[in-house]
């Protein structure tokens, strides 16, 4: 994993295997933000990277039709739901089970 400072990024952080892109310098030391993006790295690896991106976009598009709101569609992508739900837990990546994002389909939005 390689963390890069990208001041022109339009979001606070983004995981693009093998990189984590961070917009603000303060984010480079933000444990929660970095953990959030590391969760995405784990998701990407277990799906062999390319399928992750395809499922991510497909889930976003379905959510956009469902919610008719881009922020709500983004927040309800199963991969984001796992990352947001668990990014504050310092031990999460050590205890995370493979394909943990699948449980997010069954959780209430």
91 lies in some domain: yes
Q: What's the number of domains the chain is made of? A: 1
The stretch 63-76 carries a mean pLDDT of: 97
In the chain, pLDDT over 70 holds for what percent of residues?
A: 98
11 lies in some domain: no
Tokens representing 26?
């303060």
Q: What residues make up the domain containing 71?
A: 31-105
Render 4-61 in DSSP notation, one character per residue. Answer: EE-TT-SSSEEEETTEEEESSGGGGG-HHHHHHHHHHHHHHHHTTSHHHHHHHHHHHH
Evaluate whether 12 touches 34 at the Cβ level (below 8 Å): no
pLDDT at res. 108: 64
The stretch 56-79 carries a mean pLDDT of: 97
13 lies in some domain: no
70 lies in some domain: yes
Over 90: is that where the pLDDT of 86 sits?
A: yes
Model-wide pTM > 0.75: yes
pLDDT at res. 100: 97
Question: At how many degrees (to 10) do helices 78-86 and 31-46 cross?
Answer: 140
pLDDT at res. 97: 96
37 lies in some domain: yes
Q: Coil, helix or strand for 98?
A: coil
């Amino acid at each position: 994993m390689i963390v890069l400072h990208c001041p022109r990024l339009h979001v606070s952080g983004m995981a693009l295997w093998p990189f984590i892109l961070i917009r603000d310098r303060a984010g480079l030391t933000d444990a929660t933000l970095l953990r959030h993006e590391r969760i995405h790295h784990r998701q990407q690896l277990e799906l062999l990277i390319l399928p992750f991106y395809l499922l991510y976009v497909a889930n976003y598009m379905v959510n956009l039709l469902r919610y008719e709101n881009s922020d709500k569609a983004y927040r309800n992508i199963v991969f984001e739901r796992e990352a947001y739900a668990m990014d504050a837990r310092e031990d999460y990546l050590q205890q995370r089970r493979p394909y943990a994002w699948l449980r997010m389909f069954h959780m209430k939005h």
